[in-house]
Chain A
């Protein structure tokens, strides 16, 4: 069916994701604005913000340790590295063993861990609050995510995303079982949590009672903040990419020629667009949940994932 993906392709896909990340955010913002009958900022606004931040100087909390300056760098690096594991334009196992779903989740977790540590470094209440809440939800999200991955991996017998996608074959519509629907449902529940959006988190607010992720970025400034923002853009698209790789296997599998490449990119863009608009829709049609309601919300996802697995195994 498909040949292995070369290292060059991997790196290309990685950069592609990084570059595309802010755009997705921009699109989501735009759609939200439209739904709320606003003009809204242009889809390229995130790029402008980043550019501005990287030009600015740094203000740093006097209590922060030397670690603080390093945190954004490491977080960005980890997130982007996770991007390298997502098959974007083509299915098939990578020639280099860089494509394992567990490794991907691990890298994302690393980024999250470092973010939390950085938030605690500055001291003060907001950082701690954000970190505490983030690290409360993460352990609840990750197992469910893991189970969703397993629910497809058990069938495929591998956790390598490329291979998984290849297993699904091209005509993914026919290949779907009940388990896939449930797994996808679980994923839909998880997506807002993983991308830090309503109803779990609210990316637009800095109200200390509501913010999770933003609270951790509060003390970062200038290029550092830029890195953190870029990281969260990348994280978002990577998550979407993971979903699309798990449930909508990549379009044309055969051949690494330009046509196939373009088609693949197109298919990927389409899928991302769909998921992004879903996020926008949810975000503008729900209210943010109280923190201690979130576990129940995630519980829905847990049940779906468990059922999916049960269907696979039984």
Chain B
């Protein structure tokens, strides 16, 4: 397919990604957030596949596969299990009101678009709005972590921002070198496992959410 169509596809995917991110931000229930992030990962995988067909870069197929298996299936499943084990209350009341969060989100998006607008034409193979979307996704993911009350929200947010980075990497260059890509994903998995262990440990020792602890200060 032509570069033009690919670009439009990527842009549309970017828009969808942003949409899912908004869902995560606004998600009142932890399960919804998890589903949303899984969907987001799925979109990433699709994007990878699209780019693979466009550029004929086989590495991207691998990446698409990994993303699909790991981020769309395995990790959400892990999170699901954790939520089960913790049997937390489903509703998560955010740190700051959702409205404010969304307002911040808008600011972030605007800022990132403004920023990439000032860059001028970056002569990449494929860009379009990939860069601003990537920046926005990364920052919004962190915003989720900052506003989400529970440890789970924060883990979800972490994925989200990782997704943002992956998307950018794929869109702006033809993806990172495969080995790096794999290493990164491995790290993410490890990190999630360690986090999960910590969460459960705290839940088992003192019946509290680890993200709620704030004894150490000053």
Complex contact flag A–B (Cβ < 8 Å) = no
Seen from chain B, the residues whose Cβ lies within 8 Å of a Cβ on chain A are none
Seen from chain A, the residues whose Cβ lies within 8 Å of a Cβ on chain B are none
